[in-house]
Every structure is written in structure tokens, then in C-alpha cells.
């Protein structure tokens, strides 16, 4: 091994991935790079192509064009056996309704990579379904099915875990437990690729995010870096002060970094400055030096505003 660190090894990557359903172009040249050992948040508006990407990865559909890599090696329709190292839960979990939760895991384990001895009980315990494992799945609640789906995804101890909206129907305790499980897996060096619409959840969970829209990547990178760029400080000032406040803040942060929220009648208005949240004090001082006193101030950075600005839904 040479001393210089090479590019981080990738668990999964796509290049120019394209796929249409009839005349609907779901993916049009998608380039993703999912590093190993991270939780990767896969985001995009409804119909962006997230599930389609996951279907290509899982060998359920064939891409029309483009290439994929799995664990650093080319991955084509002929390498589908390598999915034995991938665990997944796509859309709603699927089970035989007439079988018990335990029997479902057993028959699922009869395909692909053999689960280790005792693994069925282990994953049942992990998702908190041990008590109900003998009941028919047909009688499970939505959240219980979702938990069982997560158990099934973990059954063969995968290197890469692919989850399509896994928080669907989970209760708060279930969401916390899932978050802990996923963080734990990433800490073990496994890769978790998770699509979600619950952005605060992703913000708590993901190391890296990729945002797609209309079948294309619009942004990908480390979440903390992205959030640093998208940090903001908001101040509330009397409407009479809005003009001078704006000027003062533009001198601080630049013209493009300041905007006024649409005023609500003749009351106070919010002005947003795109700076790191840690500079809130500085913003306040600049205003005070201009003789303006803010009636309110908050700061933060959130994935939601980044997501909305990137996907054109702001």
C-alpha cells in the first residue's frame, strides 16, 4: 500500500445511467458515486427517478444506457449474483401474507446468500418483532411490515444496504431505532444507501447526500460541507428599517447573499443573509452599527431549504 490515499473506494457508482418507461424518461444520464462505509441520503422530488435507480441497481430492470459499478468493479446484468452482498427494501415491503413473520424470513433466506445460523431470530430481535414473529404477516400493521422489511434487508448481513423510503409508517421509536441501526452499520464499515422524503431525518442520519431531479444528479457531496454553504442568518426588522438594513447586510455578505422574505402586509419583514450560522453575532453588530435594532433573529442551516432551492421548488 502506498502512502498517498487514493480516491475513496466506492460501494456503488453509476455513469450516464438512463432508463425510460415507454415515453417517460425516468433517468437521463445519472452519475452517482456512493462511497463505502457511509450513510448516503438519496434525495429527489416525487418522480425524480430514485426508485428507478434502485431498481437498476437491484437487477429488477435493465438500464437503457450507462454503466454501473458495485464495490469498485463493473456491474452488468451478468453480475447479478453479486447482489448477494446487497440487502434491500424497495418501496413497500413484500411478504407472503399467509406465512408468519418468521417463516417469511426463512423462505426469503432460501434465496440468494444463505443467512447465518440463528440470524432470523437475531434480526427479529433487532427490529423488535420477536413477540409477534409467529403471527401471520397478513395481520401485521403497516409499521410492523416495515420493520419486518428492514429485518429481511439485513438477513444476509449485506455489505451494502439499499432502503427506499424505509421510515414509511414507522412510529417515533421505530424511527429512532432504525436511525441507530443504520448508524451502527455504517460504523461497521457497511454502506447504507437510503432514499427518503423526510429531510430532517436525512439531515440527522446521512454523511453524504445526492440530490436528483428529472433523472439527473443536481448535487452530491458531504452533507456537512453542503450545510456549511447553505447556512443562513435571518433577522426581523421594522419595515421602515428594511432598506438600510439590507444595504448594511449586503456590505457584509455580498449582494447575492441577501434577500427579503415576501412581506406580510405592513408589519415587520424578515431578511435572510446566507452566511454561516456562527456569524449571527456579526450580523447583529452590523445592524446595530447602522442604527437598526433587530426585533428577531435566528440562524441555522437545513437540508430542506437547500433541497428546495436545488430542485426548483422553493
Partner 1 sequence: MRLLGGELRKLVKRPATWITLGIFLGVLVLLFLAVGASYQTIGRAPAGQGGGPEAQAAIRSLLAFPGAYASVASFIGSIGGLFAIVFGASAAGSDWGWGMIRVAVSRGESRGRYILGKLVAVALLLVPGAIAAFVVGVVAVALAATIAGLGTAGMGSPDAVGTLPWLAVRTWLALVEQAAIGFAIATLARSQLAGLGVGIGIYFVESFAAGFWPEWVRYLPFSVVTSLLREPGTAGGVDVNGSAGALASTTVDQTTALLLVLAYLIASAIVSAIALERADITG
User: Residue 265: left if φ>0, alpha if ψ -120 to 50, beta else—which one?
Assistant: left
Interface residues with ligand ATP (CB under 6 A) are 21, 24, 26, 44, 46-52
- The least distance separating Mg ion from the CB of residue 35, rounded to whole angstroms, comes to 23
Q: Which is nearer to Mg ion, 124 or 211 (CB)?
A: 211
Between 109 and 215, CB nearer to ligand ATP? 215
The answer to whether residue 168 forms part of the interface with Mg ion (CB under 5 A) is: no
- Closer to ligand ATP by CB, 53 or 156: give it: 53
| Residue 26 interacting entry, from partner 1, Mg ion, ligand ATP, none, C-beta within 5 to 8 Å by type | ligand ATP
Asked whether the beta carbons of 58 and 88 are under 8 A apart, the reply is yes
Q: Which is nearer to partner 1, 78 or 262 (CB)?
A: 78
Our CB check for ligand ATP shows the closer of 26 and 160 to be 26
Q: What is the dihedral of CA 142, 146, 152, 158, to 10 degrees?
A: 170
Rounded Cα–Cα distance for residues 314 and 301 (Å):
15
Region class of 164: left (phi > 0), else alpha (psi between -120 and 50), else beta: beta
Could you give the 3-state DSSP secondary structure of residue 66?
strand
Strand pairing report for 39-43 and 24-35: unpaired
Rule CB under 5 A: which of 48-77 touch Mg ion? 50-51
Least Å distance, CB 203 to partner 1, is 28
Report what 92 binds from Mg ion, ligand ATP, partner 1, none; CB cut-off 5-8 Å by kind.
Answer: partner 1
Give least dist CB 104 to partner 1, A: 9
Taking the C-alpha atoms of residue 75 and residue 83, their distance in angstroms, rounded to an integer, is 10
CB of 99 to partner 1, least distance (A): 6
Residue 108 Cα distances to 95, 128, 175, 185, angstroms: 9, 19, 24, 21
Q: Which does 24 bind (CB under 5 to 8 A by kind): Mg ion, ligand ATP, partner 1, none?
A: ligand ATP
When the beta carbons of 168 and 191 are compared against ligand ATP, the nearer one is 168
Q: What are phi and psi of 218, to 5 degrees?
A: -105, -25
Closest distance of CB 242 from partner 1, Å:
52
Residues in the chain: 314
Partner in contact with 97, chosen from ligand ATP, partner 1, Mg ion, none, beta carbon below 5 to 8 Å by kind: partner 1
CA angle 102, 108, 110 (to 5 degrees): 110
Contacting positions for Mg ion (CB under 5 A) = 50-51
Amino acid at each position: 500500500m502506498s502512502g498517498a490515499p487514493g480516491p475513496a473506494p466506492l460501494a456503488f457508482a453509476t455513469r450516464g445511467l438512463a432508463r425510460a418507461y415507454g415515453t417517460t424518461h425516468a433517468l437521463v444520464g445519472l452519475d452517482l458515486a456512493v462511497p463505502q462505509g457511509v450513510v448516503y441520503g438519496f434525495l429527489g422530488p416525487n418522480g425524480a427517478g430514485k426508485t428507478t435507480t434502485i431498481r437498476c441497481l437491484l437487477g429488477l430492470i435493465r438500464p437503457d444506457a450507462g454503466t454501473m459499478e458495485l464495490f469498485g468493479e463493473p456491474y452488468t446484468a451478468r453480475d447479478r449474483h453479486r447482489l448477494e452482498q446487497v440487502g434491500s427494501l424497495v418501496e413497500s415491503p413484500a411478504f407472503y401474507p399467509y406465512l408468519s413473520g418468521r417463516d417469511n424470513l426463512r423462505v426469503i433466506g432460501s434465496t440468494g446468500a444463505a443467512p447465518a445460523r440463528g440470524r432470523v431470530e437475531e434480526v427479529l430481535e433487532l427490529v423488535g418483532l420477536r413477540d409477534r414473529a409467529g403471527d401471520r404477516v397478513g395481520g401485521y400493521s403497516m409499521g410492523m411490515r416495515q420493520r419486518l422489511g428492514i429485518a429481511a434487508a439485513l438477513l444476509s448481513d449485506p455489505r451494502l444496504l439499499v432502503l427506499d423510503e424505509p421510515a414509511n409508517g414507522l412510529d417515533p421509536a421505530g424511527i429512532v431505532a432504525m436511525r441507530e441501526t443504520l448508524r451502527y452499520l455504517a460504523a461497521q464499515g457497511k454502506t447504507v444507501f437510503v432514499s427518503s422524503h423526510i429531510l430532517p431525518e436525512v439531515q440527522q442520519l446521512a454523511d453524504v447526500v445526492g440530490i436528483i431531479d428529472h433523472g439527473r444528479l443536481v448535487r452530491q457531496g458531504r452533507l456537512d460541507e453542503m450545510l456549511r454553504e447553505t447556512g443562513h442568518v435571518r433577522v426581523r426588522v421594522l419595515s421602515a428599517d428594511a432598506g438600510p438594513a439590507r444595504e448594511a447586510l449586503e456590505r457584509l455578505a455580498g449582494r447575492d447573499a441577501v434577500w427579503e422574505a415576501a412581506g406580510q402586509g405592513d408589519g415587520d419583514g424578515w431578511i435572510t443573509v446566507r452566511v454561516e450560522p456562527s456569524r449571527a453575532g456579526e450580523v447583529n453588530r452590523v445592524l446595530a452599527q447602522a442604527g437598526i435594532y433587530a426585533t428577531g433573529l435566528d440562524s441555522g442551516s437545513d437540508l430542506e431549504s437547500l433541497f428546495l432551492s436545488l430542485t426548483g421548488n422553493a
